Each structure stands twice: as structure tokens, then as C-alpha cells.
Structure 1
């Protein structure tokens, strides 16, 4: 009987310990700084870069290289302005001709278009864009500081 009582007591306390570790710890200051809603989420503009109509026409390697330097320069400018929160290419070719994505912290599609007009790969038709409102974690921008710590380039 003592063994059973000891086991039940141990089980009860272990449940209390695990329940406490699963408890939510809401940080209002952090949530407010990230413009999070009640769910810890917010709306971004998801930009899907697709192969553009002039991608195959621009075959000069030096010209393509310069256009892509401008593409990366524009991405850097959007990040420094606090607008680009996530970016990257698709890992493989796909039947949808999707090449990469940007996640922009702007309110409207027009704001996104304004930022993208400075990208020479878009201006020159290497890429074209689809822009969609996307609802995701307001904490997404926090990954940037860690990414810089693990990226050599």
C-alpha cells in the first residue's frame, strides 16, 4: 500500500512539474515590439518570384551577373530598411516556375510593389512576382540575428 501511495504521489508531482514547463509565458513588451496580435501573429506580404518572360533572352553572363548583383543589393536595402524579413530561393526547379520568395513586413501590395521596383531582375523581366497577404508568426523577424551568426557570407 505504501508503494502504491508513494507512486501516486510521485506521479502527481511529476505531472505538476511538467504542466508548469508547458505553461505559456506571455511577454507583452516583446509582443508589442513585434506588432503581434492576440495569437502572436501578423500579416506580411509574401512575394513569390517566378521565372519572367525575358529570363531566356538575357544570355550575356556579365549583364546577368550585374542584374543579380542589383537583385541582392535591393534585398540588402530592404532588410536594412526593416522590410525584408525572410528570403530565399527554391531548392529545386519546379513546374510552377517558382524561383524564390520574399516575406515583406508591409501593410499593402502597393507598398510591396514600391520596394520591388528597385530590383533590376524584376525590371528586366528575369523575374516576375506574385504578391499575396500571408498571416504568420510575428516572431519571424527574430531569426535574422541568428542567421547572421551562422552565415559565413
Structure 2
């Protein structure tokens, strides 16, 4: 029996204090850099389907990461170990997800 991969989406939101750009320091910039590097690594591993964020910088701004992995446990571990989540500058919530259509 073949173990089909499952898709998940996690939604990221900055902690409220970081919606004000004046509150950003080199530390937050460095964390976001590691967050982006981790997403690039997941892409190379074939686990990342898509990642991006909405425009703007307010309470409605959010990012998404769509994963294709073996299990919900793996997706949850990836989300919790995302540097932006692990270091507390973003909050995240995981959902089972199914990509219905995708442009090739």
C-alpha cells in the first residue's frame, strides 16, 4: 500500500506589537531571514507547495504555507519549528487542506 502524502496549510500572523515597523530590530529581521531560508529548504525537499503573504502591514495581514507531507504530525512539527513561530514573532494555526486546482 502506498502512503499518499497529505496537504496542510498553516496561517501565520505577526504578533500585534510587530505590526508597528518601529518595533522591529535586527533580531526580528534575522528571524524572518531564517524563516525564509527554512521555507526554501522545504521547497527543495519537495514538502512546500506554496508560501506567501498578503500585502500591507496591519491586523489583517497574514502569511500562508501550504505543505505536502506524510502526516499531520509532520506538518505540525514543521510549523512549530518554523523560526518565526518557535521564536515568538508570529503565531500560527494548522489546517488540513486540499489543493483542488493549481496552475502548471
TM over 0.5: yes
Root mean square deviation of aligned Cα: 3.0
Q: 2:26 aligns with which of 37, 50, 62?
A: 62
Structure 1 residue 101: deviation in Å?
Answer: 0.3
More strand by share: 2
- The answer to which structure has the higher helix fraction is 1
Q: If you compute each CA radius of gyration, which structure gives the higher value, 1 or 2?
A: 1
TM-score normalised over the length of structure 1: 0.53
Gaps of 5+ in 2: none
The answer to whether structure 1 residue 79 and structure 2 residue 14 are counterparts is: no
Partner residue of 1:49 out of 6, 9, 12: 12
Which residue does the alignment assign to 2:77? 114
Distance 2:56 2:72 in 1: 27
- In 2, distance between residues paired with 1:54 and 1:123? 17
Match of 2:65 in 1: 102
Structure 2 length-normalised TM: 0.74
Partner of 2:55: 91
Question: Following the alignment from structure 2 to structure 1, what is the Cα–Cα distance between the partners of residues 17 and 85?
Answer: 10
Distance 1:60 1:53, change over 3 A: closer
| 1:81 CA displacement | 1.0
Q: Which has the higher contact order (CA 8 A, sep 6+)?
A: 2
Taking the TM superposition and a 5 Å limit, the aligned residue runs for 1:4-23 are none
How many residue pairs get aligned? The number is 100
Structure 2 counterpart SS, 1:47: strand
